[in-house]
A and B are shown apart, each in its own frame.
Chain A
Amino acid sequence: MEERLRRLMAAALDGNAASYRTLLAEVSERLKAYFLRRLGRDRSADTDDLVQETLMAVHSRRATWDRDRPFTPWLHAVARDKLMDHFRRNRSRQTVPIDENDVFFAEDGSGAAEARLDVGRLLDAIPQKRSDLVRRVRIEGQSIADTAAATGLSEAAVKIGVHRGVKDMSREAGVEGGDGDV
């Protein structure tokens, strides 16, 4: 396996597109298994994201693989790095308040109880299409372009959807005029 991947990668670095395609397809299968083992079945959405992130990293950093060195350890190090990034992101997602809180509480003097406002409940209370966009862009941090590609909407429609979603959530939270900047 190592020998085969190595030959494919060496050919890819020489500019052979067919070898590169075969390599990326095989690598993505291996990455999927690798991330699934570490995240568990219930996180298969994250797994797909991680596979794609790692493929992009393999692509953009392919020059750092040396033709005279084994390929698998290189790939493993890249995948492990993306996995660590993922864990780090998730931890910070749980402990760092997301910035929409500023919008919700900007005019609010009612104190700490409100500060525990459940963003998930607000997301559930607004139209599902918009909450989906807010979730992707403002909570998961996907780019406008990626979200547009994933949902089949135009980028402008995504921006408007997020903007209106946040506005809806502000209304749900009882904050007047708090639409924030999208």
Chain B
Amino acid sequence: MATSDLIDRLVTDLAPVRRGAVARRIALGIVAGVLVSTVGMMLTIGPRPDIGVAMATGAFWMKFAYTALLAAIGAAAVVAIARPEGGVRNAALAGLLVLAACALLAMLQLTGAPALERPTLIVGETAAVCPWNIVILSLPVFAGTFWALRGLAPTRLTLAGATAGLAAGAFGALVYSFHCPESTMPFLAIWYTAGVAIAGVVGGALGRWLLRW
């Protein structure tokens, strides 16, 4: 086919594009994923029974703040990497900063506690299931971010997949924080971060396969 014929065809097919189309598509994928994830959490493991009391504690809101910040940064990073020339340097810096702040608070809490209590501060009672529950709850969001990126134009596929995975992991962690009974900073810094990181690694591994266009 001659290039001029192709141009004719493409011009005929032209439809207007609204401003913010990229962000809107990604928001749609994420919101749908978070809804499914939340309903899934409510119907299976359920919110923690003492949620009313817990919401009056600082620990609950620390978990909320950590996961919500990571999720917001992750969503912004997915928007950035969805463009062919996009990069995630700023988002990566912001994410590391939040992680560093959380780790610092965890260290302070650890060093301020009696030596005998430290292991409990770290593993709590649910360390063995926490990262995996986060990964499972991130799956619907994972589907949402990957669906969104598949219709956009990422060119660095492994990086894009990892970004989509990390963002999904952070949203999964946010949903999980409404179930999670733990209340220490070391637990949050280690096991929540682990869950988010696993989702990121899985996303990175799948990016090359799922995001090609």
Listed in ascending order, the chain A residues whose CB lies under 8 Å from chain B are 12-15, 17, 20-21, 24-25, 28, 48, 51-52, 55-57, 59, 61-67, 69, 73-74, 76-78, 80-81, 146, 149-150
Contact-residue size bin, chain B (C-beta under 8 Å from the other chain):
20 to 34
B21 and A63 contacting across the interface, CB-CB below 8 Å: yes
Say how far A78's CB is from chain B's closest CB, in angstroms.
5
B83 and A62 contacting across the interface, CB-CB below 8 Å: no
The docked-state distance in angstroms from the alpha carbon of A80 to that of B4 is 22
A14 and B16 contacting across the interface, CB-CB below 8 Å: yes
The docked-state distance in angstroms from the alpha carbon of A27 to that of B200 is 37
- Starting from the known contacts A56-B6, A77-B84, A80-B155, 15 additional A-B residue pairs (CB-CB under 8 Å) come to A13-B17, A14-B16, A15-B15, A20-B11, A51-B3, A55-B6, A61-B213, A62-B17, A64-B84, A64-B153, A73-B85, A77-B85, A78-B84, A78-B155, A81-B153
- Chain B residue at smallest Cβ distance from A84: B155
Q: CB within 8 A of A146: which of B1, B10, B14, B152?
A: B1
- Chain B residue at smallest Cβ distance from A88: B212
* Pairs A-B, 10 closest by C-beta atoms: A77-B84, A15-B16, A77-B85, A61-B153, A63-B21, A64-B153, A81-B155, A13-B17, A59-B10, A24-B7
Chain B residues in 8 Å Cβ range of A21: 7, 11
The docked-state distance in angstroms from the alpha carbon of A132 to that of B74 is 49
Listed in ascending order, the chain B residues whose CB lies under 8 Å from chain A are 1, 3-4, 6-7, 10-11, 13-17, 19, 21-22, 25, 82-85, 152-153, 155, 213
Chain B residues in 8 Å Cβ range of A74: 83-85
A76 and B85 contacting across the interface, CB-CB below 8 Å: yes
Q: CB within 8 A of A61: which of B7, B19, B152?
A: B152
Say how far A44's CB is from chain B's closest CB, in angstroms.
12
Chain B residues in 8 Å Cβ range of A52: 1, 3, 6
Contacts A51-B3, A146-B1 given: A61-B84 contact, CB under 8 Å?
yes
Q: CB within 8 A of A56: which of B10, B82, B85, B155?
A: B10
Interface of B is mostly: loop
The docked-state distance in angstroms from the alpha carbon of A56 to that of B13 is 11
The docked-state distance in angstroms from the alpha carbon of A81 to that of B13 is 23
A66 and B83 contacting across the interface, CB-CB below 8 Å: yes
Interface centre among B1, B11, B152, B155 (most CB of A within 10 A): B11
The docked-state distance in angstroms from the alpha carbon of A84 to that of B82 is 18
The docked-state distance in angstroms from the alpha carbon of A63 to that of B85 is 13
The docked-state distance in angstroms from the alpha carbon of A81 to that of B3 is 19
Interface centre among A12, A51, A63, A74 (most CB of B within 10 A): A63
Contacts A13-B16, A63-B17 given: A55-B3 contact, CB under 8 Å?
yes
- Chain B residue at smallest Cβ distance from A76: B85
Chain B residues in 8 Å Cβ range of A14: 16
